[in-house]
Amino acid sequence: PAQTPLLSVRDLNAYYGQSHVLHGINLHVNPGEVVSLIGRNGAGKTTTLKSIMGVHRQRTGTVTFAGQDVTRLPSNRVAARGLAWVPEERAILSSLTVRENLELPPTRPGGWTSERAYEAFPVLRERGHHPGSKLSGGEQQMLAIVRVLRSAPKLLLLDEPSEGLAPVIVQHIGRIIEDLRREGLAVLLVEQNLKFATRLADRHYVFVDGEIVDEVRREDVDARDADLLRYLSV
């Protein structure tokens, strides 16, 4: 029998008012697995992450995490169970310095210390006294990731971590995600950058118009390359 998934989403439907945007989403993430959600703008990937976190609440279906139904929990209690979400807009506090942003979230046992954050991304040490608002997009993304790692999550939800970043920064963030995976952290990644997603993920779910229409495993990516490009082309 297959192992018990860390996260499982069953028959998720989501709405914004009268508009029905997710149609029966079923997906899972196994412990230690890196999974991507790919698809065009507006296909429903961000809404899926928000529905998992309980931030978007106009939804039906079930979200199970670490063996427990978390569907009805408020998002702060979902987070406390070990789910960490880095939103697309990288929610860092723009009036606080980098150091303050880093030190504000409490550290849990096994979570990243500031020292570990500075080792992973030395630029954050150099920018320690800069306000969040003065950071580049890449520095904001790094800071947003290390902040949530302080709580020692079991699953990291990343919404388009490569978006708008220089290739060298994308490479660096990719290496950190690979390190995290080696340490056993599971990752669910929303991406439009196919190269980045296929480098990192063990499995890809393809979103089209609020539905999952395909699932591609790492070993099949080369053979399915043309299909994947077609799903993402506008």
- Given candidates 45, 59, 90, 203, which one binds ligand ATP under the rule CB under 6 A? 45
Distance CA 132, CA 16 (A): 31
Q: 43 or 169, CB closer to ligand ATP?
A: 43
Footprint (CB under 6 A) of ligand ATP, residues 193-222: 207
Distance CA 229, CA 222 (A): 11
- Helix orientation angle between 137-149 and 167-182, rounded to the nearest 10 degrees: 10
Distance CA 170, CA 192 (A): 13
Query: Which H or E run contains 26?
Result: strand 19-29
Provide the minimum distance between the beta carbon of 67 and ligand ATP in the complex, in angstroms, as a whole number: 27
Segment interacting with ligand ATP (CB under 6 A) among 44-52, 79-87, 91-99, 127-135: 44-52
Should residue 42 be labelled a site residue for ligand ATP when binding is judged by CB under 6 A? Answer: yes
Should residue 90 be labelled a site residue for ligand ATP when binding is judged by CB under 6 A? Answer: no
- Given candidates 21, 27, 149, 155, which one binds ligand ATP under the rule CB under 6 A? 21
> Number of residues in contact with ligand ATP, rule: CB under 6 A?
12
- Can you point out the beta strands (E) in 50-185? 59-65, 68-69, 83-86, 155-159
List of residues contacting ligand ATP (CB under 6 A): 16, 19, 21, 39, 41-47, 207
